[in-house]
Chain A
Amino acid sequence: AQSVTQPDIHITVSEGASLELRCNYSYGATPYLFWYVQSPGQGLQLLLKYFSGDTLVQGIKGFEAEFKRSQSSFNLRKPSVHWSDAAEYFCAVRGGYSTLTFGKGTMLLVSP
């Protein structure tokens, strides 16, 4: 069965600083990977996805992620964080019938 690990429960970043959120996956074949963001009291919004091809994928809101098969990782990055980026971020891997297995999430706090 597939699984996703997000090692960091909370991360605090200063506004304007760079960000990297870690995601490691376990999956038997070529994975389809996603990053979602959840603002308080809201549903999940898709940031970006990796299906195949270029291992560096661009998403919305200035986010990007890099797929590294050798490390079973799909880390999310942003060069300069804004206060509005404070939210919870979820990495997910797709299983059969497009079901998703999520990591436990990383809460991003942005300090002034």
Chain B
Amino acid sequence: NAGVTQTPKFRVLKTGQSMTLLCAQDMNHEYMYWYRQDPGMGLRLIHYSVGEGTTAKGEVPDGYNVSRLKKQNFLLGLESAAPSQTSVYFCASSPLWEPQHFGDGTRLSIL
């Protein structure tokens, strides 16, 4: 049972490039989330999804897009990367009313 798997684990981008982060969960959870973690800031919610085909904005959604075409996958996209998006990105999933399970994170550097 893999739980929540994030790919890639590390990535370096140049300003203006685009990329997609993939989150996959094998626990049949309804809810999925994307957070970013910055030093001294804790984790902040970017976007979330309450089911296949649905997405919603969190606290810091600007510059990101998401899609949930399949229940088990939640994609986070950066259309035009900026240095301010250098961060560690965490995906999480949960069943209704239960705690979230987190992936191991993706370290993204934008030069």
Contacts and interface: CB of A to CB of B under 8 A. Distances in A.
Contacts of A44: 43, 90, 92, 102
B31 A100 contact: no
Contacts of A101: 45, 59
A100 B100 contact: yes
Interface residues of B, number: 27
Contacts of A43: 4, 90, 102-105
Contacts of B56: 97
B45 A100 contact: yes
Nearest to B43: A102
B48 interface: yes
A31 interface: no
Interface in B53-111: 56, 58-59, 90, 92, 94, 96-105
Contacts of B97: 98
Nearest to A90: B42
A42 B94 CA distance: 19
Interface of B: 4, 31, 33, 40-45, 48, 50, 56, 58-59, 90, 92, 94, 96-105
